């Protein structure tokens, strides 16, 4: 979990979302719909985003899980997190961890997305507050930041 080995005894009916929030006290992932539709519970499982409310924790032996708490790099926020802050991509924050992880996954797959591709790529993450414009602006800004970081690398 977030780069640390964890050994947990979890009842067989518990979800990954319950495991991260209750057993590990990582409360960034939220329970919204509880059945795979809103994206508020998103985490990265073995390199792919998943809605953690749909995954049974008992199936995860040996798996790598990254939650929003594991995204920052050392003391630095991830560029996607910085872009969301800078462009006000959140209001109440309930959906934000899922939005940020969805944006990270989108930009890893497509570093230079069009506005339509951002809209499509973020379609699995619902937000009740922002009207989405600032979220999409944040993703576009994050794409620029990430490309600039890539350009800096030798």
Contacts with ligand FES by CB under 6 A lie at 31-34, 36-41, 51, 53, 90-96, 127-130
Query: Which CB sits closer to ligand FES, 31 or 147?
Result: 31
Query: What angle, 0 to 180 degrees and rounded to 10, lies between the N-to-C axes of helices 79-86 and 96-109?
Result: 120
Beta carbon of residue 111, minimum distance to ligand FES (angstroms, whole number): 25
Beta carbon of residue 130, minimum distance to ligand FES (angstroms, whole number): 5
Residue with tokens 């009916």: 13
Among 61, 63, 43, CA closest to 53: 43
Query: Which CB sits closer to ligand FES, 79 or 89?
Result: 89
Query: Which CB sits closer to ligand FES, 79 or 98?
Result: 98
What the block records as the tokens of 55 is: 């995954």
DSSP conformation class of 131: -
């Amino acid at each position: 979990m977030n780069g640390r080995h964890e050994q947990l005894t979890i009842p067989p009916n518990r979800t990954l979302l319950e495991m991260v929030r209750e057993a590990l006290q990582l409360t960034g992932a939220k329970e919204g719909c509880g059945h795979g539709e809103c994206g508020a519970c998103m985490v990265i499982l073995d390199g792919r985003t998943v809605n953690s409310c749909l995954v049974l924790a008992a199936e995860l032996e040996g798996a790598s899980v990254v939650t929003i708490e594991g995204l920052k790099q050392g003391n630095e926020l991830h560029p996607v997190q910085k872009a969301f802050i800078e462009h006000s991509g959140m209001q109440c924050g309930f959906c934000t961890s899922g939005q940020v992880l969805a944006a990270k996954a989108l930009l890893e797959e497509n570093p230079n997305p069009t506005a339509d591709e951002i809209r499509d790529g973020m379609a699995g993450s619902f937000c009740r507050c922002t009207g989405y414009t600032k979220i999409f602006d944040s993703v576009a800004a994050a794409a620029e930041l990430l490309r600039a970081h890539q350009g800096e690398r030798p």
